[in-house]
Amino acid sequence: MCLYLLLIVVWLIRNQYRVDKLDRLVNEKTVDLRYQMDKNMELFKKVLTLEQNKNNYFINLSHELRTPLNVLTSINQLIKNLCKKEVFITPEKLSYYMDIMDRNTSRLLNLINNLIDNSKIENNSYVLTKKDEDIVYLVEETVLDMKDYIEEKGIELIFDTDVEEKTVRCDKTEIERCIINLVGNAVKFTSEGGLIEVTIKDLDDKVKISVKDSGIGISEENKRLIFDRFNQVVDKSAELKGGSGLGLTISKQLITLHGGDIYVESEVGVGSEFIIILPVNND
């Protein structure tokens, strides 16, 4: 009798052990499944956010393409109507219309070039033509070429350098492009009466180029996104300001190709400072 009781007890203990083991396995699988579900949900949210940001980017890009096209179409239609009515157009008025068309044609061409070049850079097929250049002269001439445009906006422009001459091996055209992008971006977000300062500092084997403005500034959250066109916050006035984000993205890519770095320091309501650190020799 005792033997039977012992066997029953052993059987019960073994079954309990199996049940406990099965429970542990089920719990482990459940925890793992929940972890995988959370991980997949997090990945899904990231993909969804990326797709939303891409969608916002292309909406902004479409607006930026549409705006100059609408202006060109309107001017073209206006001149056609005046010609049909045989209305005399004064040379001053015609020159005014042509200037508008030139600006908007240049805007379209610049945008298309940025799109093409961005694709080349991402595919590692973009080639720089580097030569020894006086970076001080290069930056100063580029900035001074924009002086009239900036002052027409009622914005003060200051250029300053702590060195008269500094030779840097770089692609002249692309460095000009970066400076134009940064200064142009500063103009977009600086109100009338504001200030834009472009400075150059000699760092021995490197050079520091700074474009500082007294504009609206950038929040801490958005500083890390400013050079990524797919993650930039959609600005409701992007159509007026030119909000595709390609200018800053291209600038970041070009400075990286030069072996340099570009970053931003900013405070909301105070202004922003975009800083380029460019090595003297980067072959």
Q: What is the pLDDT of residues 117-174, one digit of tens each?
A: 878 887 888 888 999 999 999 999 999 988 888 988 899 999 999 999 999 999 998 9
Return the top range by mean pLDDT from 8-12, 16-20, 127-131.
127-131
Return the top range by mean pLDDT from 29-33, 233-237, 243-247.
29-33
- Top pLDDT among 115 and 58 is at 115
Could you give the residue ranges of the DSSP H alpha helices within the chain? 2-84, 91-122, 135-145, 147-152, 172-188, 220-223, 238-241, 246-257
| Predicted local distance difference test score (pLDDT) of residue 279 | 96
The region of weakest confidence among 14-28, 201-215, 240-254 is 240-254
For the chain, the C-alpha Rg in angstroms (whole number) is 30
Distance CA 178, CA 254 (A): 8
- What kind of architecture, by CATH, is found in domain 1-126? Orthogonal Bundle (1.10)
- Top pLDDT among 177 and 55 is at 177
For the chain, domain boundaries:
1-126, 131-279
Residue holding tokens 């396995």? 25
Kindly write down the DSSP assignment for every residue of 5-33, as one continuous string. HHHHHHHHHHHHHHHHHHHHHHHHHHHHH
Q: What is the largest CA-CA distance in the chain?
A: 125
Confidence of residue 54 (pLDDT cuts 50, 70, 90): low
DSSP single-letter state for residue 130? -
Residue count of the chain, please give it.
Answer: 283
The overall average pLDDT reported for the chain is 83
Confidence of residue 202 (pLDDT cuts 50, 70, 90): very high
Domain pair 1-126 / 131-279, same fold: no
Q: Is 70 helix (H, G, I), strand (E, B) or coil?
A: helix
| Predicted local distance difference test score (pLDDT) of residue 244 | 47
Model-wide pTM > 0.75: no
180 by Cβ neighbours in 10 Å (0-12 / 13-18 / 19+) ranks as middle
Which CATH number does 131-279 carry?
3.30.565.10
